[in-house]
Structure 1
Amino acid sequence: MKRLRALALGCWLAFAAAGAAQASSGGFCDRTHDLSAAEQDRLLRFAAVLREELGGSADSVTLVSRSGLDLSRFHIRYSHAALAWRSEQGVWAARQLYYSCDERRPRIYDQGLAGFAMGTDDPALGYLSIVKLPPQAVLALRPALLDSSRALHLLGAQYSANAYAYGLRYQNCNQWLVEMLAAGWGDLADGADLRERAQAWLRTADYAPQPVEVGSRFLMLASHFVPLLHLDDHPDADRAALRLQISLPSTLEEFVRARFPQSERVEVCHDDKQIVIHRGWTPVADGCVPADGDRVVSLSD
């Protein structure tokens, strides 16, 4: 089984993936990974745990994030977030922005939970984060999320993996998602200027992404070689300090938790031997090592 990377360029793409060595976005879009039968089975069982966690919830909209490219050098575990929603027939899908390699533009896409869970770059070690929203958050968000016109008006024309969190020139997948939160929780009406109004609402709501410490001018130069990376939308002071404000899943989770403290978080991870289900806002240990109280599902059965 092959997994095409068109859906999983990720929102952080290349800073940690030697992106400067790839002269075009096609270098990423053309990458595939042949999954062995054992890897397929492991990832499908991993996806089944995600489905079980969502199925046991009364919520109909949930924030879900997954690991993708290895960004551990930046202390980043999750690169890509989506809003999982349940249809009236009880079927869950992950609504998200992705970059379409064939069309060379961003799109909005509803992906099945199995496909979302299998979008990780490493089939031997993967992480999922689930933030279950309280009823009042879902009630305000769901109409906006399922409004195709508002979803598309929030879609930026130009994709940038490292888009400036407060900018309108570019957009990455997590930025689309947080602007959708603004449209729902701010009760923003549809319109061509919806992105601008969503950004204004986020500022008043104290949305403040933690700056990413790039730590290397060489990595900053990647934007000159990789079309899906840009720096011209970031403030001069941020570029000089090698600190970029980018919307990431961790920032989205912090924003949700601050606004709705009743939200609950579940982290699910797997290695080649087991799946670990860890509840609470503290992160599961690196390497998917279970702690006391964690549920462990053996993959050797």
Structure 2
Amino acid sequence: MRRWGLAVLGLALGASAWASGLSQRFCDGDASRLSTADQDRLLRFAAVVREELGRSSAPVALIGRAGLNLARWGVRYSHAGLALSSHPDAPWTVRQLYYACGEGRPRVFDQGVAGFVFGTNDAERGFVSLLFIDGEAGERLQAQALDREQALRVLHPRYSANAHPFSTQFQNCNQWVAELMALAWGPLDPLEPPREAAQRWLQASGFQPQAVSAGSRAWLWVARAFVPWIHFSDHPKTDWAQAQVRTTLPADVAAWVQQRQPETPRVELCHTRTQVVVRRDGPPLSEACEAQDGDRVVPL
């Protein structure tokens, strides 16, 4: 019994250290933490990402990056935005929801591809996914995203990194993207509040984010206690009891888009210290970022 108690204490202390580090990395993820070599590598990687975007005639791409390291829970991509081909600042500028830690609130934020790539947690190995949304759906989505007033209609003032997909109590960056897509594509009830209408349409159209297992409720307890932008009051007690979290991740949005439009082109890119691997419409890249036959390899 004593050994079991020590094991729980050790797990809790480890989770506490992880949560504290996660919170600091989330809010202090500026380029100053990167060496000159790291910055050069990421700029070269961003140039390849921009090149892949420029190859497409689609008006918009759902772009995701491996930001925070969530690999222990089987999650590669943590943050998504919309890369807009006709953005007035520059082609393929990314419009996204960004949590301003200093202000303690979310904002709709525009960022170049290089800035988006610099949001990674690992400067030596990183991943970016691109899902090109073409045709009328892409045109409508780009028009909706570029209309700042419309983009703000589904921005919620209370941010939670693990916001539940079908609650309006909080919102995370990926849920904002999904709800903006609903504004662009769905026949929404104009008499209903925009976020409620968007979520109702998303659910009816098959949008169903998958639960992520935390492995132990100790992680959830400590995350709630130490990370100010993680909340659980919007989650059902059954998920808490099963030590799982259901929130909107880039993979959930991408899977739903591909369910609606199975022919949507997809490109995944990764980099190591020495090379970039580009894969088009193939299986997911390996964690080691190893090339297979048919992949494009760019030396760094």
State TM-score, norm by structure 1: 0.88
Matched letter for residue 66 of structure 2: S
Matched letter for residue 75 of structure 1: G
Match of 1:218 in 2: 218
Runs of 4+ residues deviating >6 angstroms:
189-192
User: In 1, distance between residues paired with 2:101 and 2:143?
Assistant: 29
Q: Is the 8 A contact 1:174 1:247 kept in 2?
A: yes
Match of 1:288 in 2: 289
CA deviation after TM superposition for structure 1 residue 88, in Å: 6.4
Q: Percent identity?
A: 46
User: In 2, distance between residues paired with 1:150 and 1:73?
Assistant: 36
CA deviation after TM superposition for structure 1 residue 245, in Å: 1.1
Q: 1:20 and 1:40, CA in 2 relative to 1: closer, same or farther beyond 3 A?
A: closer
Match of 2:33 in 1: 34
Superposed CA deviations along residues 237-267 of structure 1, whole A, max 9, x for unmatched, are 1111112211001111100100011201100
User: In 2, distance between residues paired with 1:16 and 1:59?
Assistant: 43
Q: Is the 8 A contact 1:16 1:70 kept in 2?
A: no
Match of 2:253 in 1: 252
CA deviation after TM superposition for structure 1 residue 134, in Å: 2.4
Q: Is the 8 A contact 2:59 2:134 kept in 1?
A: no
Q: 1:16 and 1:174, CA in 2 relative to 1: closer, same or farther beyond 3 A?
A: farther
Q: Is the 8 A contact 2:26 2:68 kept in 1?
A: no
For 1:108-187, list aligned pairs within 5 A.
108-187=108-187
For 1:5-154, list aligned pairs within 5 A.
18-21=17-20, 28-30=26-28, 32=30, 33-87=32-86, 91-154=91-154
Stretch of structure 1 that moved more, 32-41 or 245-254? 32-41
Matched letter for residue 53 of structure 2: L
Stretch of structure 1 that moved more, 148-157 or 171-180? 148-157
Match of 1:194 in 2: 194
Matched letter for residue 143 of structure 1: A
CA deviation after TM superposition for structure 1 residue 142, in Å: 1.9
User: In 1, distance between residues paired with 2:102 and 2:205?
Assistant: 37
SS at 2:121 equivalent: coil
User: In 1, distance between residues paired with 2:190 and 2:123?
Assistant: 40
Q: Is the 8 A contact 2:87 2:93 kept in 1?
A: no
Stretch of structure 1 that moved more, 89-98 or 56-65? 89-98
Match of 2:206 in 1: 206
Larger Rg: 2
CA deviation after TM superposition for structure 1 residue 17, in Å: 9.0
Q: Is the 8 A contact 2:65 2:78 kept in 1?
A: yes
Stretch of structure 1 that moved more, 131-140 or 234-243? 131-140
CA deviation after TM superposition for structure 1 residue 279, in Å: 1.1
Q: 1:192 and 1:149, CA in 2 relative to 1: closer, same or farther beyond 3 A?
A: farther
Match of 1:261 in 2: 262
Work out the number of aligned pairs and report it. 284
Runs of 5+ unmatched residues, structure 1? 1-14
Q: 1:124 and 1:153, CA in 2 relative to 1: closer, same or farther beyond 3 A?
A: same
User: In 2, distance between residues paired with 1:18 and 1:91?
Assistant: 41
User: In 2, distance between residues paired with 1:99 and 1:210?
Assistant: 23
More helix by share: 2
Q: 1:112 and 1:187, CA in 2 relative to 1: closer, same or farther beyond 3 A?
A: farther
User: In 2, distance between residues paired with 1:150 and 1:137?
Assistant: 16
Pairwise CA RMSD:
2.2
Matched letter for residue 65 of structure 1: G
User: In 1, distance between residues paired with 2:226 and 2:16?
Assistant: 13
Superposed CA deviations along residues 13-68 of structure 1, whole A, max 9, x for unmatched, are xx98945336x966742465532222111111100011111111111211000001
User: In 2, distance between residues paired with 1:220 and 1:264?
Assistant: 36
User: In 1, distance between residues paired with 2:148 and 2:29?
Assistant: 31
User: In 2, distance between residues paired with 1:141 and 1:250?
Assistant: 18
